[in-house]
Structure 1
């Protein structure tokens, strides 16, 4: 695994891309903390993408019954593109 700083990555990006295309793992770090990994596009695996989970945000938002009230006439006109 090759770990480089952001500054090094900026000045040697072409070489780092070539290394990743050869199969090397290239990590760019901010200071001593790894931030991102460069991998060839075609080698991304669907298993590496996070799986969607239904209800993940359940209970984090709320609205009351006024949500269903009709909009005021002035606001409706603006939504319809009348009277900017």
Structure 2
């Protein structure tokens, strides 16, 4: 469960909160009791999303009438 903390207190205790987040803790920051933000540990996207990205690309239907050379040409034009 996330710990709820008011925005004023979060501002005053930011260094302490960041150290806690580094250790895996999570906080929900509130304004007048209403949740407005979550302070959570950063997830490195370096390799975690690769399998999902590959699956999403494989799910796209093949475009008919466009060759690999055409696509390479389009990419080359975009780089100019």
Structure 1 length normalisation: TM-score?
Answer: 0.47
Larger gyration radius, structure 1 or structure 2: 1
